[in-house]
Amino acid sequence: MSTDAQTAAAATVEPPLLAPHQIILRPLVTEKGVHRSTRHNAYSFEVSTLATKADVRRAVEELFNVKVRRVHVQNRRGKPRRSRFRSGRTKDWKKAIVTLDPEHRINFF
């Protein structure tokens, strides 16, 4: 194998496949999220930073037995925080907004 073929093969290596409970960390139940779920049938989740849109789709469909129409993903930056004399920042995290087919719903309460 030539070096070009080796680098191309190394570049296309898939990341490790995560289990659905490792992808979806927690639902985000906020005022805006509840409004979005009732009006647009879209639900927000905090997801693993390693997860892709396809991973999130697969995890939501397996965990909640629903049909996913669309997935939007946001990388959220951590905020600077200060406690007395020390300054730091909260961790970066990933948010997924999952839109479901009209006949499917998820009940968190």
Q: Mean pLDDT across the stretch 21-49?
A: 95
* Whether pLDDT at 10 is above 60: no
Domains of the chain by start residue, with CATH: 17-100 (3.30.70.330)
Q: Mean pLDDT across the stretch 46-66?
A: 95
For 75-105, the pLDDT digits (tens) are 999 999 999 899 999 999 999 999 999 999 9
* Whether pLDDT at 23 is above 80: yes
Residue 33 pLDDT class (50, 70, 90 cuts)? very high
pTM of the model: 0.80
Q: Mean pLDDT across the stretch 15-44?
A: 91
d(CA 10, CA 5): 9
* Residue 15, CA distances (Å) to 58, 61, 72, 83 in order: 15, 20, 20, 37
Q: Mean pLDDT across the stretch 59-88?
A: 95
Show contacts of 11-19: CB within 8 Å, 24+ apart: 15/50, 17/55, 18/48, 18/50, 18/51, 18/55, 18/59
Average pLDDT, the chain: 89
**Phi and psi torsions of 7, nearest 5°:** -70, -35
Q: Mean pLDDT across the stretch 35-41?
A: 94
